[in-house]
Structure 1
């Protein structure tokens, strides 16, 4: 019995083993099926995510492309500024797209391939000469003459920042050095493994032990890509398992080129506020202000090194740590044969070379961008602008913007220093427009131009003072049978009792009345009393309508004080008004937006120039001529010594009560510019238009290229000689007078002194004689650029005409009975006494 039981026990052991084996097989099968099901689930998640994946990219904004033209006026500094905005590198020899060379007066530039709003433009080289600020000998690389050559457009930022930002790069555009360095540092078995590399893990461990620090990681590039797309960075066992499984699945479905491309575009490489810098394409611009395909080995090494930890190796906060990491990557590059020993020594000795604070910010030009968003808003939603990767082509001129920013920042600080004004108390804004197109070339809304706060160029509504006066004189000049530039205007006291009992008694800046003065003199010297008389004679409603026809839409008060500037406008609105005058009466709607396309340059929407004519060219030209005289002998005369006399500048100062606002608005044949200075608390600035805004305006305009020579008068304008009483002095009958333009519709009274000289006409005609001292008619010109001998003769006549009009007559806007002027303090016996006199240097403010 006992033996039988033992045999049964012995017989049952194989059965138990068999059952355990069967159970293990079953469990393995169940596990395999579960794993397969789980991998099938992960596979669905992976493919759905990747196949339908689109980057959410903010709209990328581009400046206007610089077009080089034969005969174009351009300063060398302006050209260098444009190249800098494009991140073009100056080289000894022209070696690659995005570079330029200067050899004396000869320039060579190799533009990059670029997608413009009207199509792709391939990379190409050109040469030209820049002599006396004029471009000539414009030729392509084959020596053929060109009429023009368009460069690529500078990337000036993105819209609606925050979140992820990147500049995706296709696989065929990835520089080999970038790809090979990344593989050498992050995953040397990348081309051979199937998503997970045990050998790579082992090699990384050995390399790290030898180096005594972390130089290589164990995760493959595929695993890192999966982690970046699907998981957070918490190092849990579950995450690592899912990461490995999905890496294998990714290798099954996608080729190595796609995986490398996605990693290069997905890896996080920095942070700028709420904006994440993702991908090597954007990081190259952010850290070096260069496209990825132009980076040198040491720059590539830094970016690859940042992939290990962009915060830890931040080159601005931790420069020593970043430099060490970069040189470690250079060592790997040397070991892998990507650079030689000499290059390694050279690159290791270089500084980090990152730009200050990071570039390519969401909003580097906040004032301009605010207007741009306003123009985009009717056509594109917030979500489209934030995520659709649109390409937005704008009017901004980088060199002009830089000039405006520097002039505002430096000019305001210098005024505070020179005039003993409290530091950082003044604020400023400026707007520059291209006259013919309406393009906004530059806009600054703060003395700190990159500060994204209150935009004074668009939002600061301040009284404009005498800037409104040209509308009054234009209203008069539109009535050629009643008024012309020589019409005598009464500069006499004005007293109006208003319905509420208030009394309006404006005064001139010097508290003097000047009697009968020619209309253009009243405009040039900004006489308040003459302007008030003229505006009241014309009628407030007529003047209001003229202001509207000049393109101004702001609210206009129905009170006499409106005539002297009790009108609130923004610098942007003022620029539009003066641009209409500069355009000969054609109002062109200012614009920042030229075109919008998708990320590939397709589906382009163009935004055309919008214009209408509100003023006839003849009175518009006469007004322009009057504003040119304001620059030569009126309230804008301070700029005469700093501006070229061969350019037809015209403009007007503006100052409001208690010197709260200092304005200057003016233009050349090409550009209109407006400058405003003031305080945010609306307290007095101690500056008039001529002592505050005008110097900054002058600094901007003198550095811009302009057309030389006089502005051609339109048909319907003729030039005649008149005396101080505005009477016609026919050069066939008598000598003297001063030549100014008139409408053909104007009928001038003949000067009595010329009536008795008719008997000599036959004698002069017989011998074909001309009036002594007169230049041939084609040499005469209104405004700037006249013949020197004729200019001297005209100046002498002008002095005779204005002998009774001496004294300093600035353009103060006086809407209250009393005149407030800048008090000058004197100390007498310990008591401060205030003496009132015009603001500014004693001698400079006096008329010659």
Structure 2
């Protein structure tokens, strides 16, 4: 038997293979291990270098002030609740809740008890800390009781937040929220569609990132999302939006930094405030809270599941998923988010189906309606003017203003509807011409007793043009004419007669004939014309204003004194007025806002109030930085103001202002139309002044009348305003002591009695009213010949033809029907009818 003997040190190739000691393989393994370790060391060094480098980037960003710019917040004027007002306790509670009561005890709290509500302002309230209980049985305020038991006639609620000032040149707007203010459904919706593992990963979804990188390399495109919420936040705060692989690596480094420094809740909160959410008008919408207000007109906490899902869906491509332009895309995307929430078990299938069935109710696309951007721009300008363009003026201030959000919505809606009517009239004038210039518009609403600017629209569309026509100077046209009649009433109150020796009244006869007026000591002449050269001879003052007769008005201005007219206008805020004949026709410029202030002298017992928007500025702790006091001065006697208002009531009831009556507005009102190259309508009630202007930016003639272009906008606005509880109590104007209202016969302009029921109302200083009745005309001086020829008429006598016109369907006075003339009229040619005036062009 052979025995194999193995000597020590003898090499056996088979045993070497079995023992795994192949030197080539061993060397290869050692090489790759060294290379791997080297790569790991180099990678760690590179990672450490860039981690440290971008740590400084993050540090600089975090240490250089707050993450988000502190912008001032604009608040509305406080809503006043009055005894007798139509209002419920529940409605009051909802307003207080929107203002922040019960969610912020520092601001205030309330408690509902059936038909009553107990209100307790907090230390940071706009008001003092005095509370009250308001009782509203059957939907009407019957009692307001202060905490100390004293009965109050009115109580002001906490002002509502309107908007914030834009924070940068890109006109970005955001409303900052904390994580606890974000609805859980919002968090679930966002994570379901954007980053399902957000609360589990360390900032990077490795698998998703690798898949996206490979996909982009293979396709040659860079379309894959792949970014976590942390990465999106890193990109939004620190990086440009361009897509490069280097930028992606930097994004990852910054994401690690954010995850190391902040909790998941803090990261989500920053993301919720930073994420771009589209565009509204000329403003960029940033963050979920601003988006909730922009798209739904709601606080973020008020959103339901469907609305949260819609906002979450917009994040991916805000422009592509614009709900105002692409609702079909938005609905499909929202439903995808809801399905994703089922997959993440945030919703049950049944809950998702119910949410999918809900329609999306968007807020008005008109940014003017909710945020009053023209108004806010003026507030910002005044803030800088009064406090200085400093950090103090741009800081986190609470700016309390005069605005009424409900009335602002009414104004925006009225302008939108009214300008459709104007555009249609413009198209008819141009007969299909494609190169049409559509006019611009402005609407101002004031409280006539405080000067408070309640609503302001400065143009058709703020997103298209930020030019604020509310403060653009334009010729005032015929809405200036009441100041001529007011100057005459001022002289009447002072006992100063006109140049004919008689005291001015509503039935004073004015000359509406072609006349050459001289001024500047006879060195200059002025030859005004009426519309289509229609002149009316002798007319009562109340008719001259109602029909906007140019020559009759200038003849009155001449008797009063053109400089007296101009001085009254300047005292009322129309500072450009000068003592020329043309001043009587509104030849001098003023802004719509100026004219709104000027009309306070008529509506406010002769006291002029400068329109104001800024009430108070507070810091973020509620401490007063500055308060602002409205300016007021007595311009005319209350009797003169009321007498002028009475004349302007005639404009509304049987003049060119009758258009608003045809459109359903029946409350007591006084006003004046204006027609030149621009058109105006200026009128007021017991609780509102509203001025409407329509015109072309290039000053070309829009070739429309104030009655048919501006008055319908006014009527639309006022019909909406009177339905609001705070403006529902529009009352008749009350004459002051020394003035009485009489019924005047239309045919004779004498006191009306039961034999002549066709009459109108006019106000007179006591003792200046007509002394005869319509049935006792024979008692007048001059006898029968005076009645035939019009000779020897006294100050209060009138022409024989009816002085007050009937109205055409378009709101203009109708041509009077020819009457049968008696023997003396046929013999001497007396009593022929003359054409009525149309809206008049101004000089």
Q: TM-score, normalised by structure 2?
A: 0.68
Do the aligned partners of 1:114 and 1:123 also contact (CA within 8 Å) in 2?
Answer: no
Cα distance change, pair 39–285 in 1 and its aligned pair in 2 (3 A): same
Could you tell me which residue of structure 2 aligns to residue 72 of structure 1?
Answer: 85
**What are the superposed Cα offsets for residues 225-247 of structure 1, whole Å, 9 maximum, x if unpaired?**
33332233455555444444443
Equivalent of 2:674 in 630, 654, 659: 654
Could you tell me which residue of structure 2 aligns to residue 176 of structure 1?
Answer: 184
State whether structure 2 residue 385 is matched by structure 1 residue 378: yes
Could you tell me which residue of structure 2 aligns to residue 473 of structure 1?
Answer: 488
Correspondence 1:117-516 to 2 at 5 A: 118=126, 128=136, 148=155, 150=157, 153=160, 155=162, 158-159=165-166, 162=170, 164-196=172-204, 219-234=227-242, 236=244, 238-271=246-279, 275-310=283-318, 322-350=330-358, 353=360, 355=362, 365-379=372-386, 388=395, 390-414=397-421, 420-422=428-430, 427-446=440-459, 451-452=464-465, 454-465=467-478, 467-468=480-481, 469-482=484-497, 483-485=503-505, 488-489=508-509, 491=511, 493=513, 494-497=515-518, 503-506=525-528, 511-512=534-535, 514-515=537-538
**What are the superposed Cα offsets for residues 782-831 of structure 1, whole Å, 9 maximum, x if unpaired?**
xxxxxxxxxxxxxxxxxx965625367899xxxxxxxxx999xxxxxxxx
Do the aligned partners of 1:56 and 1:386 also contact (CA within 8 Å) in 2?
Answer: no
Cα distance change, pair 429–804 in 1 and its aligned pair in 2 (3 A): farther
Cα distance change, pair 458–109 in 1 and its aligned pair in 2 (3 A): farther
Could you tell me which residue of structure 1 aligns to residue 570 of structure 2?
Answer: 548
Do the aligned partners of 1:115 and 1:121 also contact (CA within 8 Å) in 2?
Answer: yes
Could you tell me which residue of structure 1 aligns to residue 683 of structure 2?
Answer: 666
Question: Secondary structure at the residue paired with 2:234?
Answer: helix
Q: CA deviation at 1:563?
A: 2.5
Partners in 2 of 1:452 and 1:240 — Cα distance? 39
State whether structure 2 residue 71 is matched by structure 1 residue 54: no
Partners in 2 of 1:189 and 1:69 — Cα distance? 54
Correspondence 1:769-780 to 2 at 5 A: none
Q: CA deviation at 1:690?
A: 4.2
Partners in 1 of 2:156 and 2:254 — Cα distance? 51
State whether structure 2 residue 635 is matched by structure 1 residue 623: no
**What are the superposed Cα offsets for residues 528-573 of structure 1, whole Å, 9 maximum, x if unpaired?**
44543432233222222111222221x2234223223333333222
Question: Secondary structure at the residue paired with 1:342?
Answer: helix
Could you tell me which residue of structure 2 aligns to residue 757 of structure 1?
Answer: none
Cα distance change, pair 294–464 in 1 and its aligned pair in 2 (3 A): same
Q: TM-score, normalised by structure 1?
A: 0.68
Gaps of 5+ in 2: 1-25, 101-107, 217-221, 498-502, 723-727, 754-758, 775-795, 808-812, 816-833
Could you tell me which residue of structure 2 aligns to residue 592 of structure 1?
Answer: 613
Partners in 2 of 1:179 and 1:238 — Cα distance? 30
State whether structure 2 residue 802 is matched by structure 1 residue 806: yes
Q: CA deviation at 1:55?
A: 0.9
Could you tell me which residue of structure 2 aligns to residue 571 of structure 1?
Answer: 592
Partners in 2 of 1:662 and 1:455 — Cα distance? 17
Question: Secondary structure at the residue paired with 1:664?
Answer: strand
Do the aligned partners of 2:679 and 2:695 also contact (CA within 8 Å) in 1?
Answer: yes
**What are the superposed Cα offsets for residues 574-615 of structure 1, whole Å, 9 maximum, x if unpaired?**
222112211111111112333344567665543332222222
Cα distance change, pair 691–473 in 1 and its aligned pair in 2 (3 A): farther
RMSD value, Cα: 5.7
Q: CA deviation at 1:621?
A: 2.5
Correspondence 1:593-612 to 2 at 5 A: 593-598=614-619, 604-612=625-633
Cα distance change, pair 262–403 in 1 and its aligned pair in 2 (3 A): closer
Cα distance change, pair 533–362 in 1 and its aligned pair in 2 (3 A): closer
**What are the superposed Cα offsets for residues 54-73 of structure 1, whole Å, 9 maximum, x if unpaired?**
31265544444544433126
Q: CA deviation at 1:461?
A: 0.9
Q: CA deviation at 1:114?
A: 11
Do the aligned partners of 2:445 and 2:688 also contact (CA within 8 Å) in 1?
Answer: yes
Do the aligned partners of 1:585 and 1:613 also contact (CA within 8 Å) in 2?
Answer: yes
Question: Secondary structure at the residue paired with 2:236?
Answer: helix
Q: CA deviation at 1:123?
A: 15
Do the aligned partners of 1:372 and 1:593 also contact (CA within 8 Å) in 2?
Answer: yes
Aligned length: 714
Question: Secondary structure at the residue paired with 1:552?
Answer: coil
**What are the superposed Cα offsets for residues 150-200 of structure 1, whole Å, 9 maximum, x if unpaired?**
376253574476254322211221222223444455445544554456588
Question: Secondary structure at the residue paired with 1:377?
Answer: helix
Do the aligned partners of 1:56 and 1:387 also contact (CA within 8 Å) in 2?
Answer: no
Partners in 1 of 2:556 and 2:223 — Cα distance? 82
